Amino acid sequence: MRMQSRNWPSLGIALVVLLLLSAGVPGHAANATKASPDHPVDLNRASVEALTTIPGIGKVTAERIVEWRESNGPFRRIEDLMKVKGIGDKTFDKLRPYIKVGKSR
């Protein structure tokens, strides 16, 4: 049986979707580089997914960090992270090696 040419666009879209699903989507937490002292996460550029690669940062805290940045502007220094609800002195001390503050976008 011969495939009609009008079905080719649908087949192409299906193939692209399958390739993306099998390869993973860039930026997804499963594919994100794990934060480390050698690869700290930039608080001014990181997505929620990237922030969750920091040991001790879950989705809720990562969302709070992004919300704070969107409401208050870029972090000027890493200590500003303590202005985010749920991040006190002890938590900040644990996070310090894994974070940095670069230029805002």
Q: Which CATH number fits domain 41-100: 3.40.1280.10, 1.20.120.450, 1.10.150.320, 1.20.59.10?
A: 1.10.150.320
Most distant pair of Cα atoms in the chain: their distance: 70
Average pLDDT, the chain: 81
pLDDT > 90: percent of the chain: 60
Q: What is the pLDDT of residue 103?
A: 74
Q: Please give the span between the terminal C-alpha atoms of the chain, in angstroms, as a whole number.
A: 55
Residue 21 scores a pLDDT above 80: no
Q: Which residue has the higher pLDDT, 8 or 77?
A: 77
